[in-house]
Every structure is written in C-alpha cells, then in structure tokens.
Structure 1
C-alpha cells in the first residue's frame, strides 16, 4: 500500500515538473524572412505595384523587416505618394537603403521609412517639383514635411528639399535646393548609418543571417507601370467614355461595349495592381454600367441612365486621386471622347434611351413653322384657313402654316383670305370675297 502511494506521489511530482518546464519554455515560432524590394529607375505605377505586392507578402509571410533599396532620380509624384502611404502604414518594420541616390520622388519614399541607410557617395533630396509653381511646391512641401514629422525627423530639412526659397543653414543658401550627401544626411538625422552594402545594413539592425527574399519587377508590374502613364490613362478613359456614349445611342450593338470593357479592365486592373484602386471605385463603376443597362432595357425617363453616368465619373475621379489633376485628366478624356463620338454619331443607329435624352423635334419650314423675321414676306399674299378664326386660328400659305387673326369677324375653315396687316408676330387677315 505504501509502495502504491509512493508511486502515485512520484508520478504527480513528475507531471508537475513537466508542466512547469513546458510553461517556462514555450515553443519558439520560426523566424520570418527579410523582404527586399528594389526601386531602380523612374518611379511609376510599376514600382507602386511591386511595393504593393511585396508588402502584402511581408504580412502573410510574417517577415521580420522590409528592406527597400533605392536608386532613382525621381518620377511620378502620385506613384511615390502611393508607395509612401504603403510604407508608413506597414505593420512590418521598414528600412531604406539608398544605394546611390534618392532624388525628387525617391526622397519622399526614403524619408517615409523609420530607418535610412546610405551607401558611401549616396545622396538624398533635390525634390523641387516640375512644373515649379506656387501650388505644386506648396503641396509637395507639405507632403514632405508631414512625412518627416511622422518618422521623427526635422520637417525643415524636408521642406528645404522641395522649396529652394527656404534654404537650410550650413547646407543650402536661400535660393538653392537642398540635397544631402551621405555624411550630411547622417549629421542632420536623415540617415542612421553609412553602409557599404546590404549585409552591413542588415547587420546594423540585427538581421544578419536571416533569409532575404528578393522582389523585382515582373511583367505584371512593368505592364501596370506603362498603363499608369497619364497619357495612357487618358486614352483608356476616352475609350470608356466613347463606349458608354455609343451604347446609349445604339442600345446594345455589343462591339462598343466589348471595347469599353477591355479598356475598363486595363484601366482598373493596372490601378488595382498598384494598390490605388479599391473595391469602392470598382463597385461604383460596375454599378454605373448596371444602371445604364437597366435604363436601356426597361421603360424610364433617363433617371437610371444619368445616375449610371454619374457613378462612372465618380469611380474614375476617385481612382485618379480625387484632386485637381484628376478633374483635368477627366475633362481632357471626355472632350476627346465627345469629338470622336460626334464624328461617328451619324453612322450609328439610335436607341430609345438616346431618343429620351436628345430632343429630336425641330421647327422646320417643311413642318409648317416659320420665324418672325419672315412674316413680312406674307403681306398681301392669300391662303386658305385650316381652322376657324374666332378671331384667331391657323392659315396655310405656300405650304407654310401660320397663326393669324381676323379683323374681328368669325371666318369658317377652308376660306380664302388675304394678309392685310403684319405687326410684329401678329398677322391680320381678311376674307378675299370682302
């Protein structure tokens, strides 16, 4: 009996020790990789698409850090702002390594990182916008200052990179745009270290020996970059507008709809890949198309069709950034589409919706209408009354119907009368047998 009790006590003691050991020594999760993104050359939608893809993978792969290697003279501001937003909002720590230079839009991307490393001989800054207007300088200066403040750096340095009228004491006189060399950037807090290579950068931040996954542009990102060019976007929107106008006029021939659909897929697809277009913009566009189709095939007065057009405009406006540049691009694209549509309109059949939207009736001479300037031509002429004059009625002269009045008496229909007086729009007639 004592032996059984001793065994039980020993068993409980072993279980307790095992449990305590397990609690004190949790299983360590496998460390994630470092995601490396290469931004080289002109910054455009393709670079934004690459960063968007890499950032999504960094979250799914539980990466320990994202290393962005930059070597660029600059590029499109809207693409740089999109990349800046993705980096600042990233839950994964980010490090920027300026291999040679990060100028203009590249400087904005660089300062959006919490940590910056420069290669020996590297430089950062020189971000004066082109064209250099008061509006563009003010907007970009605010973007740079807000970004620097967000990442814990002196906003005055960032502002001097954009606005040359400011200068920065000891580095740029007023009238000179600020660009910092490697050691200057380290001195003013715009570089954590000057490192000769990637390995030195990773070692400085405690990431030596960790797997590095390289991300460079593939064909999808390169295609997205070409489709994100403002001229290409304007062309695609013109095709979309032209297709919508053609479908409203023809009510479903299908060819215009197919061409417009391809243009819309290219436009929204490229913006989706770059992370610029979201579900709201796509839902608005699809909803607008749906409203137009509903108007085409159901009785109505044009409300659904007009609402659909407004929804399409809203989706494109939001996708383009919802700013003054978006309005200008939309206006140019719409103007081009209207010119092309007017050139093709005569050869396209008309739909019921088009008839409801466009006034087709015209007061022509063949229809019996005449302008007041021509009334004096009828003085002294005779015609047949088409209605009774009580004393006003209608008269037909030379195949033209006129509104006339008698001299006060009642005149029967089909009576031969003569125009005896014209005062402005008032035509006075008298029976010929009088």
Structure 2
C-alpha cells in the first residue's frame, strides 16, 4: 500500500526538481571541445602527445578535437602514426593552422588532408611535401617523364644544308645518370608518398591533383588559394570563428554522419605532460648522442677504475635513455656500427696499450659514425657539428693520454717484481762473511756475498736467487 502523505508528496517534488535541474544543467553545458597544440617539428614526442590525447578524448566523450598546428614537417614514421589514429578516430578532428604566419609544411600537409576538417588562418600556407632523401643529400629529385627522342639526322645533307656546317639545330646534351635523374630508390619513395596522400585526399574528398603536385613538385598554397582549390575547408581568423563556422555542419566520422553543435561549448586546452617533455628532450638527436657518449664513457670509467659504482650507474642509465631515443629516431645503422667500432677500439687502446694505433682508428671511426649517425636531412634531426667535434676532440685527448702513459711505461725500466731489485742499493744489517741479512727496497732479505761484509756497509744487489739476494760492495763505497 503506497502512502500519499504530505511528506511523500514533498519528497517526490524534490526528486523531480532534482532530475529536472540535472537535465537542464546538462543541456546548458553544450559541446565539449578539446584544443591540442603542436608547434614545431613532427616527431616521437608530438605523435605520442596527439595519439594519447585523441584516445583520451574518445574515452571522455569529447564532441570535437581542435588541433592547432604550426610545423615545418617532421619524421615520416611519426606522421603516419598520427594519421593512422586520426583516420580511425570516432571523435571529429579539426586541424587549424594558426596563428597568422604559421604553416603546415611537409608532414603537416598530410595531417591536414587526413583531418575531418581542415582550416587555416588567413596569412598561413600549406605544401612542400616532397619526401626528404634517405641518408642525406637534400630533397629527393622528382622523377621526370621520359622525353621523346629526336629522329636521327640524315647522313647526307639536303635542302641547302651543308653537312657539318653547324647551322642546324644544336644537339641536346644527354642528361647524366645520377641522383638528379631519379634513381629507383628515389622513385619508390616519391611514388609511395604520392599514393599515400592521394588515398587520403580521395577519402576526405579533397583536391587529389594538387596533393600529388605538392609531393612531386613541392608546391605551396596560401590559405585563400588552398580554400579555392578545395585543399582545405575553411579560412577563419581565430578559434571562436572556427567553432561558429562548424556549428550545424555534418561530417563523416569513421563511416558515420555526425552533425556538430558548437553554438554553446566548453573549451578545454590539453597541455603536454611530463612524458611529452621527456620524449621531446631525449628525442633531440644532440641529446640522444650525448646520452650515448656519457653512458659509454661512464662504463669505461667504471671498468678502468672499479669500486665507486658512480660511473657504472650513471653510464647504464644514460646508455638506456640513449638507446630508447635511438629507437624513435631515423638511425643509420652503418653510422651506429662505426660508432660502436670506434668506441670499442678506444676501449681496447685503454686496456691493451697499442701505442695509439687502435686509438687512432677508433677516433676516425668515431668521427665518421657520428657524422652519419642519423639517416635524415630534416632540420633539427641531425647532430650538431660542434658537438661532434667536441666529443671527437675529447675522445682524441683520451687516446693521447692513454697512449702517452703506455709509451712512458714501455720505455721505463721495470719497477716491480724481483728484477726491480737488481742494481738496487742494500744495507748490511750485521757483520757476515758468506751469508747474512741486508735491507733492500724497504725489506729484509737473506743475502750472499763473496767476501766479508761489515755491518752498515752499502752494497749493490747483483742478482736474485729465489728468496736470496747476491750482493757485492759498491765500488764508490
């Protein structure tokens, strides 16, 4: 039996009012918008930041993610990792190139093409997506279509032309074979990039022809022209104008049609955390290189002077951090092998004393390996030349020090063992004839002599026989 008392009626009204307030509050909240920012080269740190933020946005039920982008390009692997997650995202992503003066170059162009919405501030540009060469040498040459060859000239002159007169058309010099004409590897890289961006352009309904052109010819477009050529979707002044322009727009998100409601929204800026800062630090090729060097020298110091453990602990930590950084960066394994060989030769010089032969080879291998360690010409992804020279000079100094010590040790007489006593001075501790006690090198020895010896006499050790010394009086005594 349900009681209908004033208390129950007031309780029901209270519960109803509570639900209504919660419903109205939810309606008043509006869309949830996260704003991410990538300002600089696309690398492991920025890829990790973007991917984790996008995954968190899906878990948090975010309605729209805005990526504010300003990049000169970056690493191919990091870019593809970002695009893979972006294409599969269940949350709409609007990439916005801003502020004025920003750019979406190289890898940034691919990310713009892959985004659900591509927007730019008025004074920005997009393009220059030609892949950077593998192993150095600048941008890859663009494969040229084969040119039709001129028909061979008649062996006999005609129509008033004199054979060999030079009045006819000049012969076109043949293009020399080499990188400029585009080898097989260059064509593979460029064609792969073209197919990749064309597929993304077709998926998002953007300009396919210009996408190929920016890869093959490194073309660029300012914001207004990019909008006119269907490369991007919007040109807006700021974030508020972007959200206003997107309100009510329907976009395809992972196969589903989603209508954006950004008239009333909650904007939350997702700042990079400590992980981003750490990855950004150690993924710097200069830092990764220094970590490796500190790690190796720390271990060498620990093996050469064991006991404290400081060099070993610091060396292991730095070496592991450097190795972790290397697996995120485009490493040239030939350079890494030369670096390892060079350090191995230097370590061998420290322990085997080859009078500098191993050390010299180690310095050369070390220098060459350092120069070609990272397999890219991207700005910001090569080890600084001054750092390489400084580390090489320090390494050469170590070799000179070790080799000099070895040379001095090789030239000096033996100062340890029984042979060190030969020629040494001995003092007779007693009067004896034939056998007695003497002090030599701070120790008491049993000595033999051909003649009588007085206590306190200064003697010279001529030989050692087991635990006995053979002595004779000093000539100047």
C-alpha contact (below 8 Å) 1:161/1:178 kept by paired residues: yes
More helix by share: 1
Q: Which of 104-113 and 147-156 deviates more?
A: 147-156
- Asked if the contact 2:292–2:318 (Cα under 8 Å) also holds between the matched residues in 1, the reply is no
The residue number in structure 2 matching 1:382 is: none
Which residue in 1 is equivalent to 2:319? 263
Q: Is the 8 A contact 1:35 1:212 kept in 2?
A: yes
Report SS of the residue matched to 2:115: coil
| Larger-Rg structure | 2
**Structure 1 runs not aligned, ≥5 long:** 8-21, 165-176, 271-315, 350-434
> Displacement, 1:243?
8.6
**What is the rounded CA distance, in whole Å, between the counterparts of 1:84 and 1:249 in structure 2?**
49
- Matching residue of 1:104: 106
Give the Cα separation in 2 of the matches to 1:331 and 1:235: 19
- Structure 1's 68 and 343: CA in aligned 2 closer, same or farther, altered over 3 A? same
1:144 aligns to 2:197 (yes or no): yes
Superposition RMSD in Å: 4.4
Give a deviation string over 1:152-209, Cα, whole Å, max 9, x none: 3343321111101xxxxxxxxxxxx322232322233222222221111112222133
Is 2:234 the partner of 1:179? no
> 2:127 matched to which residue of 1?
125
Give CA-to-partner distance per residue, 1:118-171, whole Å, 9 cap, x none. Answer: 22233211222332222543343333223323433343321111101xxxxxxx
Q: Do the aligned residues in 2 keep the contact of 1:97 with 1:118 (CA within 8 Å)? A: yes
Larger mean CA deviation between 33-42 and 248-257 belongs to 248-257
Instruction: Indicate conservation of the 8 Å contact 1:69/1:97, yes or no.
Output: yes
SS in 2 for 1:138: helix
Q: What is the match of residue 88 of structure 1?
A: 87
Task: Give the deviation of 1:248 after TM superposition.
Answer: 12
Cα distance between partner residues in 1 of 2:55 and 2:219: 34
How far apart are the structure 2 equivalents of 1:47 and 1:73?
13
Q: Which residue of 2 aligns with 1:39?
A: 38
Partner SS state of residue 189, structure 1: coil
Partner residue, 2:237: 196
> In the aligned structure 2, how far is the partner of 1:32 from the partner of 1:260?
49
Cα deviation for residue 267 of structure 1 reads 4.8
| 8 Å CA contact 2:300, 2:347 repeated in 1 | no
Equivalent residue, structure 1, for 2:69: 70
* Alpha-carbon distance between aligned partners in 2 of 1:193 and 1:69, rounded to the nearest angstrom: 14
User: Deviation at 1:264?
Assistant: 1.7
User: Is this contact kept in 1: 2:292–2:322, CA < 8 A?
Assistant: no
| Residues 35 and 54, structure 1, Cα contact 8 Å, conserved in 2 | no
1:64, distance to aligned residue in structure 2 (A) = 0.8
The CA deviation at 1:219 is 5.8
- Is 1:79 matched up with 2:78? yes
3-state DSSP class of the match of 2:94? strand
* Mapped partners of 2:78, 2:46: distance in 1: 8
Structure 2: tracts of 5 or more residues without a match: 5-18, 133-137, 141-185, 248-261, 353-477
Change (3 A) 1:108 1:114: same
Residues matched between the structures, number: 274
- What is the aligned partner in structure 2 of residue 341 from structure 1? 344
Structure 1 residue aligned with 2:208: 155
How does the TM-score come out when normalised to structure 2?
0.47
